[in-house]
Structure 1
Amino acid sequence: MAEWPYNTRNWQRLRLAKLAENPLCHACELRGRIAPAVAVDHVKAIKAGGDPFPSFDGLMSLCERCHNEKTNAVDRPDRAASGRRFKGFDVHGNPIDPGDDWHGGGA
Protein backbone atom coordinates (compact mmCIF):
# COMPACT_ATOMS: atom_id res chain seq x y z
CA MET A 1 0.00 0.00 0.00
CA ALA A 2 2.96 2.31 -0.45
CA GLU A 3 1.96 3.64 -3.87
CA TRP A 4 0.28 6.99 -4.52
CA PRO A 5 -2.32 8.00 -3.33
CA TYR A 6 -2.18 5.56 -0.41
CA ASN A 7 0.99 7.04 1.01
CA THR A 8 -0.47 10.55 1.32
CA ARG A 9 -1.85 12.27 4.36
CA ASN A 10 -5.04 13.08 2.43
CA TRP A 11 -5.71 9.38 1.79
CA GLN A 12 -5.04 8.45 5.42
CA ARG A 13 -7.56 11.06 6.59
CA LEU A 14 -10.14 9.96 4.02
CA ARG A 15 -9.63 6.29 4.93
CA LEU A 16 -10.06 6.92 8.66
CA ALA A 17 -13.15 9.06 8.06
CA LYS A 18 -14.74 6.36 5.87
CA LEU A 19 -14.00 3.66 8.44
CA ALA A 20 -15.47 5.87 11.17
CA GLU A 21 -18.65 6.35 9.12
CA ASN A 22 -18.85 2.69 7.97
CA PRO A 23 -16.90 0.47 10.41
CA LEU A 24 -18.42 -2.77 9.09
CA CYS A 25 -17.63 -4.64 5.88
CA HIS A 26 -20.05 -3.62 3.14
CA ALA A 27 -19.99 -7.00 1.35
CA CYS A 28 -20.41 -9.00 4.55
CA GLU A 29 -23.39 -6.83 5.52
CA LEU A 30 -25.00 -7.66 2.16
CA ARG A 31 -24.59 -11.35 3.05
CA GLY A 32 -26.25 -10.77 6.43
CA ARG A 33 -22.97 -11.06 8.34
CA ILE A 34 -21.19 -8.64 10.62
CA ALA A 35 -17.45 -8.21 10.15
CA PRO A 36 -15.23 -5.26 11.01
CA ALA A 37 -13.83 -3.38 8.04
CA VAL A 38 -10.07 -2.92 7.88
CA ALA A 39 -9.72 -1.66 4.29
CA VAL A 40 -11.22 1.18 2.31
CA ASP A 41 -11.56 0.38 -1.37
CA HIS A 42 -12.35 2.50 -4.41
CA VAL A 43 -15.66 1.52 -6.03
CA LYS A 44 -14.04 2.41 -9.36
CA ALA A 45 -10.34 1.57 -9.41
CA ILE A 46 -7.93 4.44 -10.00
CA LYS A 47 -6.40 2.43 -12.88
CA ALA A 48 -9.86 2.33 -14.48
CA GLY A 49 -10.23 6.10 -14.26
CA GLY A 50 -11.59 6.36 -10.74
CA ASP A 51 -10.99 9.44 -8.61
CA PRO A 52 -8.07 8.87 -6.20
CA PHE A 53 -9.86 10.90 -3.52
CA PRO A 54 -13.59 10.37 -4.13
CA SER A 55 -16.52 11.22 -1.91
CA PHE A 56 -17.63 8.55 0.56
CA ASP A 57 -20.04 7.17 -2.07
CA GLY A 58 -17.02 6.27 -4.20
CA LEU A 59 -15.48 4.19 -1.41
CA MET A 60 -16.37 0.93 0.35
CA SER A 61 -15.36 -0.27 3.80
CA LEU A 62 -14.33 -3.92 3.51
CA CYS A 63 -12.85 -6.69 5.61
CA GLU A 64 -9.52 -8.08 4.41
CA ARG A 65 -11.08 -11.13 2.74
CA CYS A 66 -13.69 -9.16 0.80
CA HIS A 67 -11.13 -6.53 -0.20
CA ASN A 68 -8.79 -9.19 -1.58
CA GLU A 69 -11.60 -10.96 -3.43
CA LYS A 70 -12.86 -7.72 -4.99
CA THR A 71 -9.39 -6.59 -5.99
CA ASN A 72 -8.54 -9.93 -7.61
CA ALA A 73 -11.90 -10.23 -9.36
CA VAL A 74 -12.27 -6.72 -10.72
CA ASP A 75 -9.21 -4.51 -10.36
CA ARG A 76 -6.53 -6.82 -11.76
CA PRO A 77 -7.17 -7.50 -15.44
CA ASP A 78 -3.85 -9.34 -15.73
CA ARG A 79 -5.26 -12.22 -13.66
CA ALA A 80 -7.91 -14.73 -14.59
CA ALA A 81 -10.90 -13.49 -12.68
CA SER A 82 -14.60 -14.08 -12.47
CA GLY A 83 -15.46 -10.42 -12.96
CA ARG A 84 -17.78 -10.56 -9.96
CA ARG A 85 -17.05 -7.85 -7.47
CA PHE A 86 -18.42 -9.89 -4.59
CA LYS A 87 -19.12 -13.58 -4.27
CA GLY A 88 -22.11 -14.90 -2.41
CA PHE A 89 -25.77 -14.34 -1.82
CA ASP A 90 -27.96 -12.40 0.56
CA VAL A 91 -30.34 -13.99 3.06
CA HIS A 92 -32.97 -14.32 0.29
CA GLY A 93 -30.63 -16.20 -2.06
CA ASN A 94 -30.02 -13.26 -4.39
CA PRO A 95 -26.48 -12.49 -5.61
CA ILE A 96 -24.92 -9.64 -3.61
CA ASP A 97 -22.78 -8.35 -6.50
CA PRO A 98 -24.60 -5.29 -7.90
CA GLY A 99 -22.97 -6.01 -11.28
CA ASP A 100 -24.59 -9.44 -11.52
CA ASP A 101 -27.02 -10.00 -14.39
CA TRP A 102 -29.72 -10.71 -11.79
CA HIS A 103 -29.51 -7.02 -10.82
CA GLY A 104 -29.50 -5.91 -14.45
CA GLY A 105 -25.71 -5.91 -14.76
CA GLY A 106 -25.37 -2.36 -13.43
CA ALA A 107 -22.73 -1.10 -11.01
Structure 2
Amino acid sequence: MRPQRHKPAAPDTPPHRTPEQLRGTSSERGYGYRWQKAREGFLRKHPLCVHCEQRGRVTAATDVDHITPHRGDKDLFWDRQNWQGLCHPCHSVKTATEDGGFGNFRAK
Protein backbone atom coordinates (compact mmCIF):
# COMPACT_ATOMS: atom_id res chain seq x y z
CA MET A 1 0.00 0.00 0.00
CA ARG A 2 1.39 3.40 -1.01
CA PRO A 3 1.43 6.44 1.29
CA GLN A 4 -0.91 9.29 0.35
CA ARG A 5 0.57 11.95 -1.89
CA HIS A 6 0.64 15.58 -0.93
CA LYS A 7 -2.15 17.57 -2.51
CA PRO A 8 -1.38 21.24 -3.19
CA ALA A 9 -3.58 23.86 -1.59
CA ALA A 10 -6.74 24.82 -3.44
CA PRO A 11 -6.41 27.88 -5.70
CA ASP A 12 -8.78 29.89 -3.47
CA THR A 13 -6.49 29.56 -0.43
CA PRO A 14 -5.27 33.07 0.46
CA PRO A 15 -1.51 33.55 0.10
CA HIS A 16 0.56 33.74 3.27
CA ARG A 17 1.22 37.33 4.31
CA THR A 18 4.02 38.36 6.61
CA PRO A 19 3.30 40.62 9.59
CA GLU A 20 5.00 43.47 7.72
CA GLN A 21 2.58 43.01 4.81
CA LEU A 22 -0.40 42.91 7.17
CA ARG A 23 0.80 46.11 8.82
CA GLY A 24 0.53 48.11 5.58
CA THR A 25 2.72 50.87 4.21
CA SER A 26 3.58 53.99 6.19
CA SER A 27 1.21 56.01 3.99
CA GLU A 28 -1.59 53.52 4.61
CA ARG A 29 -1.00 53.95 8.34
CA GLY A 30 -1.29 57.77 8.10
CA TYR A 31 2.35 58.77 7.78
CA GLY A 32 2.10 60.45 4.36
CA TYR A 33 2.86 63.97 3.16
CA ARG A 34 0.59 65.71 5.67
CA TRP A 35 2.30 63.88 8.56
CA GLN A 36 5.78 64.69 7.23
CA LYS A 37 4.94 68.41 7.17
CA ALA A 38 3.38 68.32 10.67
CA ARG A 39 6.38 66.34 11.94
CA GLU A 40 8.86 68.89 10.55
CA GLY A 41 7.02 71.78 12.21
CA PHE A 42 6.77 69.97 15.53
CA LEU A 43 10.48 69.13 15.59
CA ARG A 44 11.36 72.77 14.81
CA LYS A 45 9.39 73.84 17.90
CA HIS A 46 10.52 70.87 20.06
CA PRO A 47 14.12 70.13 19.00
CA LEU A 48 15.25 68.05 21.98
CA CYS A 49 14.57 64.45 23.01
CA VAL A 50 12.20 64.43 25.98
CA HIS A 51 13.54 61.16 27.42
CA CYS A 52 17.18 62.26 27.18
CA GLU A 53 16.31 65.62 28.81
CA GLN A 54 14.78 63.73 31.74
CA ARG A 55 18.14 61.96 32.17
CA GLY A 56 20.12 65.22 32.02
CA ARG A 57 21.36 64.71 28.45
CA VAL A 58 20.98 67.07 25.51
CA THR A 59 20.11 65.13 22.36
CA ALA A 60 18.39 66.27 19.17
CA ALA A 61 14.92 64.85 18.62
CA THR A 62 14.62 63.07 15.27
CA ASP A 63 11.28 61.27 15.69
CA VAL A 64 7.82 62.47 16.71
CA ASP A 65 6.36 59.90 19.06
CA HIS A 66 2.72 59.36 19.98
CA ILE A 67 2.82 59.30 23.79
CA THR A 68 -0.30 57.11 23.86
CA PRO A 69 -0.18 54.73 20.87
CA HIS A 70 -2.94 55.71 18.45
CA ARG A 71 -3.57 52.16 17.11
CA GLY A 72 -5.31 53.64 14.05
CA ASP A 73 -7.42 56.22 15.93
CA LYS A 74 -7.13 59.29 13.65
CA ASP A 75 -8.22 61.74 16.37
CA LEU A 76 -5.48 60.49 18.69
CA PHE A 77 -3.03 60.35 15.76
CA TRP A 78 -3.43 64.10 15.04
CA ASP A 79 -3.72 65.25 18.69
CA ARG A 80 -0.57 67.33 19.15
CA GLN A 81 -0.93 67.03 22.93
CA ASN A 82 -0.15 63.35 22.37
CA TRP A 83 3.14 64.07 20.54
CA GLN A 84 6.66 64.26 21.92
CA GLY A 85 10.06 64.60 20.31
CA LEU A 86 12.44 61.68 20.81
CA CYS A 87 15.85 60.73 19.44
CA HIS A 88 15.76 57.59 17.31
CA PRO A 89 17.28 55.25 19.96
CA CYS A 90 14.76 56.38 22.62
CA HIS A 91 11.88 56.03 20.15
CA SER A 92 13.00 52.52 19.17
CA VAL A 93 13.20 51.39 22.81
CA LYS A 94 9.80 52.92 23.66
CA THR A 95 8.12 51.36 20.62
CA ALA A 96 9.69 47.95 21.24
CA THR A 97 8.58 48.06 24.88
CA GLU A 98 4.99 48.89 23.88
CA ASP A 99 4.88 46.30 21.09
CA GLY A 100 6.41 43.44 23.04
CA GLY A 101 10.03 43.52 21.90
CA PHE A 102 12.21 44.27 18.92
CA GLY A 103 10.86 42.65 15.77
CA ASN A 104 7.43 42.11 17.28
CA PHE A 105 4.41 44.28 16.87
CA ARG A 106 0.70 44.04 17.12
CA ALA A 107 -1.04 43.70 13.79
CA LYS A 108 -4.38 45.43 13.26
TM over 0.5: yes
Runs of 4+ aligned structure 1 residues displaced above 3 Å come to: none
**Equivalences for 1:76-87 in 2 at 5 Å?**
76=99, 79=100
Uncovered stretches (5+) of structure 2, i.e. residues with no partner: 1-24, 103-108
- 2:55 paired with 1:31: yes
Structure 1 counterpart of 2:68, one-letter code: K
Q: CA RMSD in A?
A: 2.1
SS at match of 2:78: coil
Structure with bigger gyration radius? 2
Q: Deviations over 1:64-92 (max 9, x none)?
A: 11000110112x1xx259xxxxxxxxxxx
- SS of residue in 1 equivalent to 2:48: coil
Aligned residue pairs total 76
Q: TM-score, normalised by structure 1?
A: 0.63
Q: TM-score, normalised by structure 2?
A: 0.62
Tell me the secondary structure at the aligned position of residue 12 of structure 1: helix
**Which protein has greater RCO, CA pairs closer than 8 Å, 6+ apart?**
2
Q: Using the aligned pairs only, state the percent identity.
A: 30
Tell me whether 1:52 sits opposite 2:80 in the alignment. Answer: no
- 1:19 matched to 2:40: no
> Which residue of structure 2 lines up, in the alignment, with residue 84 of structure 1?
none
Post-superposition CA distance 1:11-50 (Å, at most 9, x none)? 1121011101111101000000000111001111111757
